[in-house]
Amino acid sequence: MEKLRRTMLYVPGNNAGMVKDAHIYRSDSVMFDLEDSVSLSEKDSARLLIFNALKTLDYEGIETVVRINGLDTPFGVDDIKAMVRAQPDIIRIPKADSADDIKAVEVLIEKEEKLAGLKVGTIKLMAAIEGPLGVLNAYSIATASKRMIGLAIGAEDYVTNMKTKRSPGGVEILFARSQIVTAARAAGIYALDTVYSDVNNEEGFLEEVRLIKQLGFDGKSVISPRQIAPVHKIYTPSQKDIDFALRVIEVIKEANEKGSGVISLDGKMVDKPIVDRAERVIAMAKASGIQFDEEDDK
Amino acid sequence: MRVVKTGIAGTLESSDVMITVSENTSTGINIELHSIVEKQFGKQIRKVIKEKMEELDISDATVSVNDKGALDCTICARLEAATYRAAGIKHVRWEEK
């Protein structure tokens, strides 16, 4: 079954209460942040807090991600040493501009995995692209390491670097979003959208989620537990979509049994992309917890 | 490791603990505990602190604890951060963990 990454809940790394309760809201992933949400004087304490939490607490199957500080800061190397031993599922690299940024982190992770006697390659990587250079290098970043499972866009830094600011429609990040989702798809990894910081603007948030789903993103970073359920709802296929997908699969099965070539459903041609989309709808529905009669979806 | 100054870590927010580690005038680990759950968990908190100080190889220190219902793992994290700060050591020896 396809791993869902519709929501990645952002958890400030030095907030003990939020770290303790991060999993109870049932986002698909939780991301403990050691970077921008932690003040410079608390980096050491936050790192120890996340290390101890990951070594001790049971996050009940929720995927754990840690956003480390960049290697261009005094904190990045210690973050890697600690997190390799804490064993989150994924390390998220901030402000990735090139494949070299990913490879540098990978070299350090591998060194620490060997020193700690851990299996090399266990921890996966994802990269946040937050500047114009990273956007232009998105595909080489996505393919820089076998550990890479996803690309994310960090819009706040990106728009600042682009000498603009965010707007409700997001036209200023449309190119970056399109480039990142295309690069991720070409590399066969996940694409995750940026945060929506105006937590009280529910309609604006829903519009943005519909937009990024339409663009092809797998999900979104969220900053409040309140944002989780609406994203999951939008990403869960509708009954109409599921019914159509099941019919597509049924007719293609019949066509294959009869050895037919091109077939039609409701007067429209059913070809491979339609079948692929139908299979994805069913996979997504199953992953979202929708139960099927096994006879129906074969 | 040796305590050479006062080190503080943690916050007074719910589920956290603020720990101050400082030089001791006498010998041993002297724990001053204030906790909202002291009646039920005071003994356990003292045990966690003693074990962690032993692990950090600190035999003499005063540990002042203001607990707001922190888990043991949070107490360990804040105690370790405060102790490293009190010892004037910037980098944790991750290789030993």
Domain boundaries, chain B: 7-89
Domain co-membership, A92 together with A161: yes
Phi and psi, residue A266, nearest 5°: 55, 35
For residue A1, the model assigns a pLDDT of 58
| A108 and A251 together in one domain | no
Q: Does residue A222 sit in the same domain as residue A280?
A: no
- For A108, A159, A194, A215, the CA distances from A141, given in Å and listed in that order, are 17, 20, 17, 20
Contacting B residues, span 22-81, partner chain A, CB-CB under 8 Å: 70-74, 76-78, 80-81
A19 is a domain residue: yes
The answer to whether the CB atoms of A48 and B90 lie below 8 A apart is no
CA-based nearest residue in chain A for residue B78:
A45
Residues A113 and A182 in one domain: yes
Low-confidence ranges of chain B (pLDDT < 70): none
Same domain, A69 and A92: yes
Question: Is there a contact between A49 and B74 if contact means CB atoms under 8 Å apart?
Answer: yes
Instruction: Provide the residue-wise pLDDT of chain A in tens; the chain has 298 residues.
Output: 578 999 999 999 999 999 999 999 999 999 999 999 999 999 999 999 999 999 999 999 999 999 999 999 999 999 999 999 999 999 999 999 999 999 999 999 999 999 999 999 999 999 999 999 999 999 999 999 999 999 999 999 999 999 999 998 899 999 999 999 999 999 999 999 999 989 999 999 999 999 999 999 999 999 999 999 999 999 999 999 999 999 999 988 888 888 876 788 888 888 888 999 999 999 889 888 888 765 544 4
Q: Is residue A1 part of a domain?
A: no
Q: Are residues A270 and A153 in the same domain?
A: no
Q: Is A188 exposed, middle or buried (0-12, 13-18, 19+ CB in 10 A)?
A: exposed
Categorise residue B44: left if φ over 0, alpha if ψ from -120 to 50, beta otherwise.
alpha
- 3-state SS, residue A152: strand
DSSP assigned state of A94: S
d(CA A63, CA A60): 9
**Model pLDDT, residue A39:** 97
- Determine, yes or no, domain membership for A245: yes
Same domain, yes or no: A98 and A218:
yes
Residues of A at the B interface, defined by Cβ within 8 angstroms = 14-17, 19-21, 44-45, 47-49, 51-53, 55-57, 78, 81-82, 85, 112, 115-116
User: Is A43 within the bounds of a domain?
Assistant: yes
What local confidence, expressed as pLDDT, does residue A259 receive?
A: 80
Domain shared by A68 and A177, yes or no: yes
The answer to whether residue B84 neighbours chain A at the CB level (below 8 Å) is yes
Is residue A63 located within the same domain as residue A133? yes
CATH value at residue A103: 3.20.20.60
- Answer for the pair A278, A298: CB distance below 8 angstroms, yes or no: no
Count contacts between A and B (CB, < 8 Å).
69
**Which residue from A47, A52, A85 is facing B73, i.e. has the nearest CB?**
A52
Tell if the CB–CB gap between A51 and B10 is shorter than 8 Å. no
CB A16 to CB B13 under 8 A? yes
Residues A54 and A181 placed together within one structural domain of the fold = yes
Angstrom distance (rounded) from CA B43 to CA B87:
26
C-alpha to C-alpha distance for A233 and A290, rounded to whole angstroms: 12
**Domain end (from A235, A258, A273):** A235
Task: Give the pair of three-digit tokens for residue B89.
Answer: 């050591």
Q: Can you give the residue range of the structural domain that contains A93?
A: 7-235
ipTM: 0.96
* Percent of all residues in chain B with a pLDDT value above 90, rounded to a whole number: 89
Of B13, B76, B78, Cβ closest to residue A17: B13
pLDDT (0 to 100) of residue A298: 44
Number of structural domains in chain A: 2
Confidence (pLDDT) at A228 = 97
- Are B81 and A48 an interchain contact pair (Cβ–Cβ within 8 Å)? yes
Which amino acid type is present at position A128?
A
Mapped to the 3 state alphabet, what secondary structure does chain B carry?
CCCCCCEEECCCCCCCEEEEEECCCCCCEEEEEEECCHHHHHHHHHHHHHHHHHHCCCCCEEEEEEECCCCHHHHHHHHHHHHHHHHCCCCCCHHHC
